C-alpha cells in the first residue's frame, strides 16, 4: 500500500510518499479504502512540531479524517457494513494512506446524493 509519511517535523515538504504495510481489521474494526482525506489546521501545526492536544512521534502516517468505502470487516462486525460509503476519524493518524483501519463505531455513512469529497470536507 502507498502512504504519506511524516519522518521529521517541518513544512509540507517533510511529507513523503512511500510504502506501508496493508492494515488488517481486527475484532470490532473495519477497513476503509480511502478516497479522500481532510487536512486540518491543527494537523499542520502538529506536523510542524508545535505543541498541540497531543504530540506526534515520527515516523508515522499522519491524517485523521478520511472518506471512502468499507471493504473488509473484522470479527464481531456486521458484514452488511461492507460496501458502505463513509467518513471517519482515524484516532489521530493513519489517514494519509490508501487504506485505514478504524473502530467499527467510528464511521458515519454518507447519504446518497452527497459527494464523498464534500462529506469529508
90-115 per-position pLDDT tens digit:
998 999 999 999 999 999 999 999 99
Q: What is the mean pLDDT of residues 55-70?
A: 94
Q: Total structural domains in the chain? A: 1
Rounded to an integer, what distance in angstroms lies between the CA atom of residue 23 and that of residue 82?
16
> What pLDDT score does 56 carry?
82
Beta strand segments in 1-121, E: 2-6, 15-19, 29-37, 65-73, 85-89, 99-103, 108-109
Domain residues for 63?
Answer: 2-120
Which H/E stretch holds residue 46?
Answer: helix 41-48
Using the predicted structure, report yes or no on whether residue 52 has a pLDDT greater than 80.
Answer: no
- The tens digit of pLDDT for each residue in 23-39 reads 999 999 999 999 999 99
Q: Quick check: 92 and 53 in contact, CB under 8 A?
A: no
Q: Specify the CATH number for the domain of residue 72.
A: 3.90.180.10
Residue that wins the pLDDT comparison between 43 and 67: 67
Amino acid at each position: 500500500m502507498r502512504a504519506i509519511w511524516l519522518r521529521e517535523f517541518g513544512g509540507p515538504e517533510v511529507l513523503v510518499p512511500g510504502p506501508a504495510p496493508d492494515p488488517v481489521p481486527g475484532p470490532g474494526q473495519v477497513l476503509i479504502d480511502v478516497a479522500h482525506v481532510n487536512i486540518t489546521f491543527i494537523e499542520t501545526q502538529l506536523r510542524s512540531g508545535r505543541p498541540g492536544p497531543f504530540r506526534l512521534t515520527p515516523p508515522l502516517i499522519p491524517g485523521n479524517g478520511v472518506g471512502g468505502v468499507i471493504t473488509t470487516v473484522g470479527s464481531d462486525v456486521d458484514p452488511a457494513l461492507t460496501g458502505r460509503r463513509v467518513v471517519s476519524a482515524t484516532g489521530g493518524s493513519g489517514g494519509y494512506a490508501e487504506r485505514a483501519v478504524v473502530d467499527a463505531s467510528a464511521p458515519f455513512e454518507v447519504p446518497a446524493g452527497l459527494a464523498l469529497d464534500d462529506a469529508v470536507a
